[in-house]
Structure 1
Amino acid sequence: MPERNAFVDHCLALLAPLGPVAPRAMFGGWGFFLDGNMFGLIAYGQLYLKADQASIETFAAAGSEPFVYEGKGKPVTMSYWRAPEDAMEAPDALLPWAELAVAAARRGAAKKNKTKKPARQRKTPRLS
């Protein structure tokens, strides 16, 4: 499990205006959660924020790049984009980007919930 460091604390301070952001150590980095939805991650010393079709162009226009890692011999591109450098200086600079990420995470969670199959109803044996 990675040790919580100054960069994690810095990101949490920048994200504080969003509400109770919960950091979780995962995969050698950190995930940031709000209301149970993962909207950000720290990997390789960078903050990445969740993006989807509604926000990718905004991140790209700011010069951001997606998070890519090497998986099973080929690059895997995730739906998280690096936070713009100038947004990392103050909470009010990062807030609009973080809000985009939270919105993308919520849309993704809503989409997953719609596609989940309902639990199969089992017939219970009559015990009388």
Structure 2
Amino acid sequence: MSEFSDNLHEVFERFGRITVRRMFGGHGVFHEGRMFALVANERLYLKTDAQNRAAFEQLGLPAFAYARQGELARMNYHEVPAEVFEDREEAARWARLAWDAALRAAAAAAPRRPAAKRATRR
């Protein structure tokens, strides 16, 4: 791991326990088994979706992007504001925004069980 990634445990101490795993040339940041953040090129990005993206965009925080087959691919992760590294309460607040987005994504991806058929009476 990098020193940057190792320090994330302290950054998010007021949010809760996290684990950091190496993946795709960077690191995934997990809470309760779900990825809510990623580290790439010594920058931290938090999970975004339609409900929380505006908070990131208002501050001009860029989305994580990478080159894929010669094209720029953007992911639903945005860089964190600098305050996250200076204020543990702010870090927890932003982490909760990302965590909620991760939970919404998981709920949307969960397979739906077919509705039970009702017995018809004759």
The share of aligned pairs that are identical, in percent, is: 34
Aligned to 1:76: 73
Asked whether 1:9 is paired with 2:9, we answer no
RMSD: 1.2
Asked whether 1:92 is paired with 2:89, we answer yes
Question: Offset at 1:94?
Answer: 1.3
Aligned to 1:108: 105
Q: Distance in 1 between matches of 2:15 and 2:82?
A: 19
Q: Distance in 1 between matches of 2:43 and 2:77?
A: 11
Query: Are 2:15 and 2:91, in contact at CA under 8 Å, matched by a contact in 1?
Result: no
- For normalisation by structure 2, the TM-score amounts to 0.87
- For normalisation by structure 1, the TM-score amounts to 0.83
* Structure 1 runs, 4 residues or longer, greater than 6 Å off: none
1:37 pairs, out of 34, 38, 56, with 34
Q: Aligned pair count?
A: 113
Gaps of 5+ in 2: 114-122
Structure 1 stretch displaced more, 30-39 or 8-17: 8-17
Gaps of 5+ in 1: 119-128
Structure 1 stretch displaced more, 67-76 or 82-91: 82-91
Q: Distance in 1 between matches of 2:80 and 2:72?
A: 20
**SS of equivalent residue, structure 1 residue 77:** strand
Q: Distance in 2 between matches of 1:89 and 1:9?
A: 16
Question: Offset at 1:117?
Answer: 6.0
Aligned to 1:122: none
**Matching residue's letter, 2:8:** C
2:53 pairs, out of 40, 52, 56, with 56
Normalized per residue, the structure richer in helix is 1
Aligned to 2:117: none
2:20 pairs, out of 23, 28, 42, with 23
